[in-house]
Amino acid sequence: MNISARTLRPSGGKDRHSKVFTAKGPRDRRVRLSVSTAIQFYDVQDRLGYDQPSKAVEWLMKKAKNAIDELSQIPLPGIDRLTLPS
């Protein structure tokens, strides 16, 4: 997966987390999961044998690529079509 992303490092203030720029604007690199989702995610990470959550996320994204690509064919109300990198 070769996606180039622009990141923004914080220059002060309360929010000291780096950001990535998305189609909907800058977002935290951190992801907050509900308790049940976090338990499921870390179970998957353990089963895969990865010690870093980012490796498990990369694996999940790669496995879900076909389903994600199909999302561009589904019209979503109130959202303009986004051009996804191929």
Cα–Cα distance list, 27 to 10, 33, 45, 51, 76 (Å): 12, 15, 24, 24, 21
Residue 52 inside a domain? The answer is yes
Residue 57 belongs to some domain of the structure: yes
Any domain includes 21: no
> Would 63 be classed as within a structural domain?
yes
- How many separate domains does the chain show? 1
The Cβ-side half-sphere exposure at 39, using a 13 Å CA radius, reads: 2
Residue 49 lies in a domain: yes
End-to-end CA distance of the chain: 9
26 or 8, which is more confident: 26
- Write the CA distances from 82 to 6, 67, 76, integer angstroms: 17, 16, 11
Task: Report if residue 4 sits inside a domain.
Answer: no
46 lies in a domain? yes
Is 17 within a domain?
no
pLDDT band of residue 29 (cuts 50, 70, 90) is confident
Residue 45 has pLDDT above 80, yes or no: yes
Question: Which domain covers residue 65, as residue numbers?
Answer: 35-74
